[in-house]
Amino acid sequence: MRVREKPPSSDQAGPQTVDRLWLSEETPRPVTVLHQSFLNGARTRWHSHRRIELLHASGGLLLLHTEIGTWTVPSGYALLVPADLPHELAAYGCCEMRAAFFTDEALGDAVPRSCRVIAVSELLDVSLRALASGPLLYDLGGRGGHLAALIVDEIREASEIQIALPMPQTPPLRKLARDMIQKPALAHDLDGWAEQAGVSRSTFTRRFRGETGLSFAEWRRRLRMLHTLTLQANGVPLRQAAVTAGYRNANALRDMMRRTLTTTVLPPSPELDR
C-alpha cells in the first residue's frame, strides 16, 4: 500500500483541483470544504489525509476502500474518515462531491475513531455548498466562520447508518468474502459456504462474526445492498439491479432498504416486480 503526503488526483482531476485539495488541508482554518466532480469510473490512488475528512456525494455513488472494509456513500449521505487512514476512493455514476476537512479541535468529542456513514440534513447540505463556494481563508468571525460552526453542529446531530462491509482477516474467510463480492447473487446457503471454507457450520459462523463483527447473513445483506447501489448508479434499471444482486425482485430490495436506512436512497419506480 502506498500513502501519499499530498491528496491524490484521479484520472478526471486536473492540477488546479489537486492544488486546491492540498491547500484545503494546509489552510489555517478549523473547517475547509472543497467541491469536486468525478466521472463514472474515476478512482484515486491509495492515500491518507492529515485532517479528518467528510465526503458528501450528491448524485452517483462513492465507495471508500480500506484494508479492513468498504464503505458506500449513496447520494444524500456522507462519510466521516479518520485522519491518517489509508484509503482509496471510487466513483460510480457522475458524482458531485464536497470534501470537508476538520481539525481535531473543531470536532471535539465528535472525532471519529473509525469510518462512519451519516445522514445529511438539508442544513448540512446547503452549509457545505456555501462554504465550498467561498474563499478557503474565510473570516473566522464572519459568514465563513458561522457556516463552519453550523457544519460541525449538524455533524454532531446526524444519525448514523450501518452500511459498512468489513472484511475478514484470515486468508480462508477473506478469499470466500472476495468470491462473494465478485458474485453477490451466489445461492449457496450457510452450510454450502461452510463446506467451501472447510469447516463446520458452527465454526464458520463463529469465525465469521469474530472477524467481521457481523453475522454471515447480515454481511451478505450489506454486500447485496452495496452491489445494487453500485449497479443503480451506473444506470442499470432497478429491477435488473435487484435480481443481479440476488434479490427475488425490486420489492424485496426496497423492503430491505427501509429496514436498513433512515431515508430512501433508491428512486421511485412504478415498475416493481409483483
Instruction: Give the model confidence (pLDDT) of 39-74 as tens digits.
Output: 888 888 999 999 999 999 877 778 898 988 888 887
C-alpha 245/C-alpha 169 separation (Å) is 24
- The architecture in CATH of the region 167-260 reads Orthogonal Bundle (1.10)
User: Quick one: pLDDT at residue 55?
Assistant: 95
Per-residue confidence (pLDDT) for residue 87, from 0 to 100: 95
| pLDDT, position 223 | 84
Residue, of 155 and 267, whose pLDDT is higher:
155
Question: Residue 158 burial by CB count (10 A; 0-12/13-18/19+): exposed, middle or buried?
Answer: buried
pLDDT at 259: 66
Domain covering 15-161 in this structure, CATH number: 2.60.120.810
Res. 205: pLDDT tops 90: yes
Domain(s) of CATH 1.10.10.60: residues in the chain = 167-260
**Residue tagged 433512515 (cell numbers):** 262
Q: Quick: pLDDT tens for 5-27.
A: 344 444 444 444 445 666 777 88
Residues of the chain with CATH 2.60.120.810: 15-161
Q: How far apart are CA 185 and CA 61, in angstroms?
A: 20
The answer to whether residue 203 scores a pLDDT higher than 50 is yes
